[in-house]
Structures are given as structure tokens and as C-alpha cells.
């Protein structure tokens, strides 16, 4: 049986404004193959996103170090989920729409510096924070039903928690604290509204 922090204490340290309904966890638990296939793609995209930030900001040494570490971790997450899919004979997923991420992306600053960089990093923070919350929510649901998946999620939740904090810290260096707090609040509200539309598909952010 994996040991893990309770959902309540994980949520207490997340910045998010609303919580995933328990009905989503029941849906994902009943459709674990769909969840895991989507999860593998999320990890792949998280690694690519980290590397893409290094491509955008090669002169930012702090960011290059942190995103290099993050991308390596996301690749290790991808390998664990992909090997689980393979061992269980579950079909992997290809590229698919992620309405929650799309809702975030359409609110990003398109080209004005420094806000584009802040937004890219804050969207990264939200993706990590919500993933952490979803993994922990599902973990509580499946601990008895599927200890192997539970132990995977128990390892990944804390990593995603560190990741949202890294993205948030990197973003906060870019603008003055007051403007930053305002921008973060704006993003938390956008995420709340996008998340409120979800909870109805057995995917990581569905
Ligand atoms: Fe990950
Ligand atoms: Fe992550």
C-alpha cells in the first residue's frame, strides 16, 4: 500500500480556487485505461513545454537549469506511465484536444514582453498545480482498487507540486510584486472558470 499525504493537506498547499468533484475521480477510476493513455501524453507535453522554454529563453540561466531538470523528470514520468500502459496491454493515445489547456492558452498575452514570459510560466504553474490535485484526488479513489497505479500517482503528485512552485518562482522574477500578484490572481480565476466546465471526462484535465 503506498503511503501518501492526504488529499486535504495536499489541497491546503495548492493555490487553486476550486477542487475537482469526487465524481470525476470515480469516472477516471472506472476508465483507468483512458486516464493513463491521456496521462502519458500529458507527461510528454510537459517535457516538451519545459524544453521549449529553454528554446525561448536560452540566456536565462536560472530557467535553463530548472527547465532542464523538470523536462528530465517529466520524461521519467512518461516512461513510467508508458511502461504501465504497455504491460497492461492498454492502447496509447495520440495527440488529442485538451479543452482545459486550450481555455488557458487563449488568455495568454501574445507578444508583449515581459508579460508573455510571465504568462507562459504561470500557465505552466497552473498545469502542474491542477495535475497535482487531480493525481491526488484519483489516488484516494483507487488506493484499494489498484495499488500499482496508486503508487505511481503517489510518486508523481509531490513532483508536480514542486513543479508548480518552480514555474511560479521563475515567473515572479520578471515583474514587480504588485503587478505579479494581480496577474497571478487573474490566472487563478481563469483556471477556476475553465475547471468548473470540467470533471466530466476521465482524462487528467477533463
Ligand atoms: Fe509529470
Ligand atoms: Fe510536472
Q: Residue 85 maps to which CATH number?
A: 1.20.1260.10
Ligand nearest to the CA of 70: 2
Q: For residue 4, what pLDDT is reported?
A: 84
Write the pLDDT tens digit of every residue in 121-152. Answer: 999 999 999 999 999 999 999 999 999 999 99
174-178 average pLDDT score: 97
- Grid coordinates representing 23 are 465524481
Write the pLDDT tens digit of every residue in 70-123. Answer: 999 999 999 999 999 999 999 988 888 899 999 999 999 878 889 999 999 999
Residues with CB in 5 Å of ion ligand 2: 46, 128, 160, 163
Ligand nearest to the CA of 76: 1
Element (H, E) at 184: helix 177-196
Cell 489498484 identifies what position?
146
Q: Which residues constitute the domain of residue 49? A: 19-196
Ligand nearest to the CA of 78: 1
Q: For residue 96, what pLDDT is reported?
A: 86
What is the separation, in whole angstroms, between the first and last Cα of the chain? 27
Write the pLDDT tens digit of every residue in 28-85. Answer: 999 999 999 999 999 999 999 999 999 999 999 999 999 999 999 999 999 999 999 9
**Distance from the alpha carbon of residue 119 to the mean position of ligand 1, in angstroms:** 20
For residues 147-174, one letter each, b for 16 or more C-beta atoms within 10 angstroms of the residue's C-beta and e for the rest, the string is eebbbbbbebbebbbebbebbbebbbeb
Q: Half-sphere exposure of residue 15, counting CA atoms within 13 Å on the CB side?
A: 23
pLDDT band of residue 1 (cuts 50, 70, 90) is low
Distance, in Å, from the CA atom of 193 to the CA atom of 54, rounded to the nearest integer, reads 30
- Grid coordinates representing 176 are 514587480
Return all residues near 18 (Cβ < 8 A) that are at least 6 apart: 192, 195, 196
Is residue 50 included in any domain, yes or no? yes
Is residue 166 included in any domain, yes or no? yes
Is residue 7 included in any domain, yes or no? no
Is residue 204 included in any domain, yes or no? no
What mean pLDDT, rounded, does the chain reach?
A: 95
**Distance from the alpha carbon of residue 129 to the mean position of ligand 2, in angstroms:** 9
Element (H, E) at 85: helix 61-87
Q: Half-sphere exposure of residue 95, counting CA atoms within 13 Å on the CB side?
A: 1
Is residue 203 included in any domain, yes or no? no
Is residue 6 included in any domain, yes or no? no
Distance, in Å, from the CA atom of 199 to the CA atom of 206, rounded to the nearest integer, reads 6
What is the residue-wise DSSP string for 32-84?
Answer: HHHHHHHHHHHHHHHHHHHHHHHHH-TT-HHHHHHHHHHHHHHHHHHHHHHHH
Is residue 10 included in any domain, yes or no? no
Number of domains in the chain: 1
Ligand nearest to the CA of 162: 2
For residues 94-120, one letter each, b for 16 or more C-beta atoms within 10 angstroms of the residue's C-beta and e for the rest, the string is eeeebebbebbeeebeeeeeebebbbb
Q: For residue 3, what pLDDT is reported?
A: 76
Is residue 13 included in any domain, yes or no? no
Amino acid at each position: 500500500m503506498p503511503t501518501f499525504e492526504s488529499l486535504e493537506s495536499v489541497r491546503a498547499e495548492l493555490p487553486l480556487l476550486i477542487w475537482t468533484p469526487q465524481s470525476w475521480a470515480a469516472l477516471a477510476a472506472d476508465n483507468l485505461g483512458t486516464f493513463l493513455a491521456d496521462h502519458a501524453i500529458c507527461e510528454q507535453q510537459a517535457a516538451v513545454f519545459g524544453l521549449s522554454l529553454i528554446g525561448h529563453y536560452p540566456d536565462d540561466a536560472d530557467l535553463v537549469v530548472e527547465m532542464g531538470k523538470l523536462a528530465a523528470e517529466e520524461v521519467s514520468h512518461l516512461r513510467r506511465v508508458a511502461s504501465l500502459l504497455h504491460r497492461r496491454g492498454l492502447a496509447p493515445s495520440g495527440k488529442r484536444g485538451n479543452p482545459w489547456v486550450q481555455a488557458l492558452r487563449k488568455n495568454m498575452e501574445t507578444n508583449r514582453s515581459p508579460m508573455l514570459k510571465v504568462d507562459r510560466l504561470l500557465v505552466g504553474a497552473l498545469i502542474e498545480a491542477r495535475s497535482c490535485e487531480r493525481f491526488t484526488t484519483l489516488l484516494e479513489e483507487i488506493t484499494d482498487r489498484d495499488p500499482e497505479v496508486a503508487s505511481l500517482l503517489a510518486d508523481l503528485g509531490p513532483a508536480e507540486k514542486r513543479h508548480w512552485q518552480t514555474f511560479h518562482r521563475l515567473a515572479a522574477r520578471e515583474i514587480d510584486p504588485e503587478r505579479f500578484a494581480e496577474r497571478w490572481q487573474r490566472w487563478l480565476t481563469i483556471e477556476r472558470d475553465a475547471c468548473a466546465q470540467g470533471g466530466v471526462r476521465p482524462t487528467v484535465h477533463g
